[in-house]
Every structure is written in structure tokens, then in C-alpha cells.
Chain A
Amino acid sequence: MNSTTMPPLEVDDFTVTLHTPTLSVRPVDGVSYSVQAGEVLAVVGESGSGKTILNMAPLDLLPVGVDAEMKGSVRFEGRDLLNMSTSELEAVRGGGIGVVFQDPLSALNPVRKIGRQLTEGIERHLGLTPTQAENRTAELLTLVGLPDPKSRMQQYPHELSGGQRQRVGIAMGISGEPRVLIADEPTTALDVTVQAQIVELLKDLQKRMGMAIVIITHDFGVVSGLADKVAVMYAGRLSELGSVRDVLIDPAHPYTRGLLQSVPSLTVPMDTKFLGLPGQPPNMAYRIEGCAFAPRCIEARADCHVNRPSLLSVPHSASDRLAACPVIVNQFA
């Protein structure tokens, strides 16, 4: 099969159940999507909606002590990550799939020099000699916008600013020349001005390297600035999936609408009433029978509390778009 036609990352009916000694929760419940080469997909949702676990669990990158049971499939270039042996998965991590983490300060090892933390991955995945890897690291650091890379490589993480650290984190994510880059809220821990720089950097890198990016975020500014496609998650389930234009301009799912309304805007009149989302996300420890959003939904029908909605194609959209809300989809039609 040709790799240009096969999406590098395909998630199909993916479910994660986390087990603790006292209870089990299902932070990811039957999620399906795919990302094409050169495409940027943003996964959006509130904290606790399962968006991080959705992307980290298949790579076995959850915190120590978390016992995750996974069902469905997550295929990277046609191979299911869930069925891989430990060593196969280790070859994929950092090689085929790069990762950028939320908090660059804790993600970097505080007592190792930055250079060494970068070169070890490059040596491992690109098969370069230490000297070559060091040169490559210097190039990478220049690429992510850090001047004077040779002296940066001799420094420890605490000697850099937050933005500089995240640039190092991004360099680390792309150091293995991955086909897919997963970025977990890469801008959340940063100052607002630096956030924009990091978004620009990611965009630039994506163009140069042609990789697919999955960016996890709750910031619609990042979504509109960077993504082609957006997947909205609520309580572990996908509620809407479509192109950024469609979803941001004309949201279909009531949850997406509520979410967009709760973003403060400077373009509306000052005295416009601020609309938040009433209520709380559901407790994931309990099994949800119907639509997870139904209790907070203004459009909810009796049926919504009983039958779990599946993703339906939304008519009259500019591109393929799916929403897990039969009520709204019928209105569109």
C-alpha cells in the first residue's frame, strides 16, 4: 500500500479503561478518527475530557502506576500500536511518532545537559555517530529558533526561559524525524506572547517536514492558528469532528456551540452577556447510558438520555463533518 494514501495515524473505536484498586473509569470511549500526512488535527476538550489519555495511552506514556486497559485499534502506518511488543513500540516512540509535552520544565531531566538529552534520541533513531548527532542537534536547535546552539547544549534546563525550554521540547519531539508529532498542550504552560511564537514555530516545522501533527489543546486560538481539522471531545467521547472552518464558524454539536460561546471575545459589544456552559462534566466513574452531554444540553430530548448517539454526517457542510447529535443533524437536513 502506498504511504501517501494510507493515513499515518488511524484510530478506530478506541476505548481506554483505567483501573485503580477501588474503581474503574473510562476516560476514552469508542473514539475514531484519522490523520493524513501533512495534516494538523486539533483535539479539543475541557480538562478531564480524556484528550491526553486518548493520545498518550496507545504509546504507553501514561504516568507510572496507571493501569490502562485498551480496546479497539490505533494504527500507525498500518500497524496496530496496541498489539506491538515493547521493543517494537520503543522503536516507534521518538522515531515514527514524536511527542511534545505540556510542561517543558518537568518534562526535561533537570540534572542532565540539554545537548545530551537531545543527542541520545538522535543516535538511537537516526543511527548517527555521537559527533554527527551533536551536529544534527545544533541544526535542530537553530531550526526551533534557539541561537547559539553549541552553548545551549552545555546548559541545564533550569538555565533556560519557559519559551526556550519548550523550543527544546519541540526539538526533542522532532529529533527522530517523525511522521506523526503529538503535541500535548504545548502552549498551556507558557506566557501568552510566547504561545503565539510556539504556534508559529509548529506551523513552520510542519510545512518544512511535512509531518502530521496531533495537537491537544483547549485553546481555540491555537486551533484556528494551526489546525486543519478539529476533534471535539466530551467525557471521553467524540462529539464533533470536521474541518476547522466548519466547526469553528458553524458548530453543529450543542457542546461545541457552548464551548465556543464560552470563549471571551473582543469583537462583540462590551455589554454582551457572557455565556458559559452551565453544569459540570459527568463523573466518569459511572457508566453513561445515553448522550454524555444530555444533562447539560438545551436541545436534549427524552431519547438523548437513553440512546447513545453515534457520529453522523452533518449535511450542507463545506467538507466531511461528523457530529454525535441526531437532533441537530436532523435540523440541518
Chain B
Amino acid sequence: MFRIVLNRAISAAILIVIASVFSFMIIAAFPGNVAGLIAEMRGGFVSQEVVDAVAEEFRLNDPLALRYLHWLGDVLQGNLGVSLRTGENVSTAMAQRLEPTIVLVLGGSVVTLLMGVMMGFAGAMRPNGSIDQLIRVIAVFNVSLPKFFLAAMLIYIFGVQLQILPTFGFRGPLSWILPCIAVGAVPGALLSRLIRVALEEAMSRPYVITAKSKGFGRRHILFQDALPNIVPVFLTTFGMNIAFVTQSSLIIEPIFSWNGIGAYFVEAARFRDLPVLQSCLLMFSILFILVNLAVDLIVMLADPLQRRARGA
């Protein structure tokens, strides 16, 4: 058991190292003259001396490995560099923008969970009933729905037509509702379909007949016998949904004018703000790797079969 945890932790650590190399390479392997670009972005007259000074400042003439170690050392000390566009310290800027993204990810996860669990179980209670059919249609449609289109429709309905919810800015719980729905609805539909399918699968297994032979009805069997069996599938999917929801922050934050990390990343990409780009990619990568690790470990702990199979 301990060894498996250790193994998983080691491979996660290796992935984090790869993520750091990858993020570093974004500047290092930049096609063309990085120093020139940076100098241009700072504005003013770009002479050869300025370019050379920039190259000196960013250590662009050092060997690659040395530059990587320097950069890594800075990152480990919490120094992510300075934005080319605004001159802000990247770590400070990211910390300031953390709150909206956390709200969005947590809120989106809540929406995902509520939608997925409620719709999934409602469908499984009466298979092929009218609710089940409706949910299936919603799920198929929803999975194909572009997030920004959903967000635009939410803005149109609740902000423009009904005018009951704010659609602009990160200003208190009321303004959280629409973005969280926009982020959580699609993965929620996906989750509901998965729960529904996994429950159906679990309900066709022989132990369900055993439970029936003990005199239990569908509801009892669904919750007592089928539910524990779908926990691994559920946790794995939900873990993936966290990645999904976080990915949505890239699109949903700009639409609702939230100053989160997702919007920061997009802005950096739009203005080729390399240090910001690099830092965002690194931070998000680490987040995903850690979430994956956590999900894997939790699934392992939650599943008595795996617990034994892997040597407890």
C-alpha cells in the first residue's frame, strides 16, 4: 500500500519536473529574437545596446541548463519574474487574482456535483422513464454546447431580458451564480450521464439479484448496493471534471470580466507576455498533476478491491 502511494507520488514529481522544463522552454525555445521582442514590449527606442542589455538581464546568453537552474531556483523561492507588459511582479499579481478563480472552480464543482448527482439518480430511479429520456437529451445536447455560447445565453436571459442577476465583474455571491453555472453545466451533464450509465451497469450485476432475493426494493438496492460500486468511476470522473472546470476559467473569466488567473493567462497569451505565460502554465500544470494524484490515491483508498489487489 505504502509503496504504491510512494510510486504514484514519485511519478507525479517527475511530471512536475517535466512541466517545469516545458514551461521554461517556452521562453528558451522562443522562435526568433526574444531579447528584441522584450525590448520592443518595454517600449521606447530599440537599439542594439538596449537589446543586449535585455539579453544580459534575462541571462539569454547563458547555457540553457544554467538558465533553467537559475529560473528553477527563482521559482522555488516564489519569484516568478516580472510581467513584460505591466512590470508587475507575477507572483503578487497571481496571488491577487487567485480568489475569483478559486470561487469559480469550487462553485463550478458544486454545480457539477448537484447537477450530475441529481440528474443521474433521477434517471436511474426509473430507467427509460420520461425524466430519464429528458436527461439523456439534455446530456447529449449539453456535451456539445460551447461554453461561451452557454455563457452568452445566460447573460442574455438573466442579465439582459430578466435583469435579475449581475453579468459583469466579481462582486459578491450574486455575481457568482451565472459564471458558476456556465462553468459547471457541461461537466454536470457529462457527470450525470456517467453516473446514470455506471448505475445502470451496476444494477445489472448479479449481486443486485442477491439483494432483491433478500427482499429489498429498487431504491434500497440503488443506494446500498449499486452506489458503493460506482464510487471509483464517480471519483475519477469528478477529478477529471475539476480539470474541465478549471479549463473553463480561461473562457468564462474574460466573458464575465473576472480578474482571475484564467483571464490572466489569456491576457498573457494575447500580448505574448512570456514570463506570465510561463508562470501560468507552470502553476496550472502543477495543479492538475496534484489533483490527478489526489484523485488516484482517493480512488485507491475508497475501493476495497484495489486496496487488496495492490497488496495492503
Direct A–B contact present (CB less than 8 angstroms): yes
Chain A residues with a Cβ under 8 A of chain B: 59-61, 63-65, 86-87, 90-95, 98-99, 101, 103, 106-112, 120-121, 124-125, 156, 158-159, 172-173, 175-176
Q: What separation, in Å, do the CA atoms of A95 and B214 have in the docked complex?
A: 7
Report if B146 contacts A (CB, 8 A).
Answer: no
A86 interface neighbour in B204, B205, B217, B228, Cβ under 8 Å = B217
Instruction: Tell me the B residues contacting A by CB distance below 8 Å.
Output: 203-217, 224-225, 228-229, 231, 303-305, 308
> What residues of B have a CB within 8 angstroms of the CB of A156 in the complex?
304-305, 308
Quick check: B215 and A125 within 8 Å, CB to CB? yes
In the assembled complex, 6 residue pairs joining A and B whose CB atoms fall closer than 8 Å, in A order, are: A90-B215, A93-B213, A94-B214, A111-B304, A125-B215, A176-B214
Query: How far, in whole Å, are A173 and B213 apart by their CA atoms in the complex?
Result: 8
Leading 5 A-B pairs by shortest Cβ distance = A94-B215, A121-B214, A94-B214, A99-B213, A106-B206
Question: Do B228 and A93 touch (CB < 8 A)?
Answer: no
- CB–CB A109/B229 < 8 A: yes
A92-B215, A124-B215, A176-B214 as given contacts; A64 in contact with B208, CB under 8 Å: yes
Please state if A65 and B228 are interface contacts (CB–CB under 8 Å).
no
- Nearest chain A residue, comparing its CB with the CB of B208: A64
Q: Which single residue of chain A is at the shortest CB-CB distance from B127? A: A64
Q: Is the CB of B204 within 8 A of A95?
A: no
Q: Determine whether the beta carbon of B216 is less than 8 Å from that of A90.
A: yes
CB of A120 within 8 A of CB of B212, answer no
Is the pair A158, B308 in contact by a Cβ cutoff of 8 Å? yes
Cβ–Cβ contact A93 & B203, under 8 A: no
Q: Which residue of B lies closest to A156 (CB)?
A: B304
Instruction: For the complex formed, measure the closest distance between the CB of A101 and the CB atoms of chain B, giving whole angstroms.
Output: 6
Q: A111-B229, A120-B214, A121-B215 are in contact. Are A65 and B204 (CB under 8 A)?
A: yes
Bound-state Cα–Cα, A227 to B225, Å: 34
Q: Which of A106, A107, A158 contacts B305 (CB 8 A)?
A: A158
The distance in angstroms between the C-alpha atoms of A61 and B305, with both chains bound, is 26
CB of B215 within 8 A of CB of A101, answer no
Which of B203, B210, B212, B216 is in CB contact (< 8 Å) with A108?
A: B210
B residues in contact with A173, CB < 8 Å: 213
Whether the Cβ atoms of A61 and B209 lie closer than 8 Å is yes
Least CB distance, B216 to chain A, in whole angstroms: 7
**Residue of B209, B214, B225, B229 with highest tally of chain A CB at under 10 A:** B214
Nearest chain A CB to B59's CB is how many angstroms away?
Answer: 55
Assess the B304–A59 pair: CB atoms within 8 A: no
B215 A176 Cβ-Cβ under 8 A? yes
Residues on the B chain within 8 Å of A108, using CB = 207, 210
Q: How far is the CA of A86 from the CA of B216 in the complex (A)?
A: 10
Query: Does A101 contact B214, Cβ atoms closer than 8 Å?
Result: no
Distance of A158 from chain B, by nearest CB (Å): 6
Say yes or no: A63-B209 contact (C-beta < 8 A), given A109-B228, A120-B224: yes
Identify the interface centre among B207, B215, B217, B228: most chain A CB within 10 Å of its CB.
Answer: B215
Tell me the minimal C-beta distance from B196 to chain A in angstroms: 15
On chain A, the residues within 8 Å of B305 by CB distance are 110-111, 156, 158
Q: A172 to chain B: which residues have CB within 8 Å?
A: 210, 214
- How far is B214's CA from A94's CA once the two chains are assembled, in angstroms? 4
Task: Name which residue of chain A comes closest to B307, CB basis.
Answer: A156
Chain A residues with CB under 8 A of B212:
60-61, 93
A111-B303 contact, Cβ under 8 Å, with A61-B213, A120-B224, A121-B214: yes
Considering the chains assembled together, what is the distance between the CA atoms of A210 and B197 in angstroms?
A: 44
Complex CA gap A87/B206 in Å reads 21
Give the docked Cα–Cα distance between A99 and B209 (Å): 10
Interchain CB contact under 8 A, A101 and B303: no
Instruction: Give min CB distance, B205 to chain A, whole Å.
Output: 7
A residues in contact with B209, CB < 8 Å: 61, 63, 101, 107
Taking a contact as CB atoms under 8 Å apart, the answer to whether A106 and B205 are in contact is yes
Contact residue among B203, B206, B215, B224 (Cβ-Cβ distance under 8 Å from A91): B215
7 new A-B pairs (CB below 8 Å) besides A111-B229, A124-B215? A90-B216, A91-B215, A93-B213, A106-B205, A107-B206, A156-B304, A176-B215
Q: How many Å lie between the Cα of A63 and that of B305 in the bound state? A: 24
A112–B204 contact, CB under 8 A?
no
- Pick from A63, A107, A158: contact of B210, CB below 8 A: A107
Q: In the bound complex, do residue B206 and residue A101 qualify as a contact, i.e. CB atoms below 8 Å apart?
A: yes
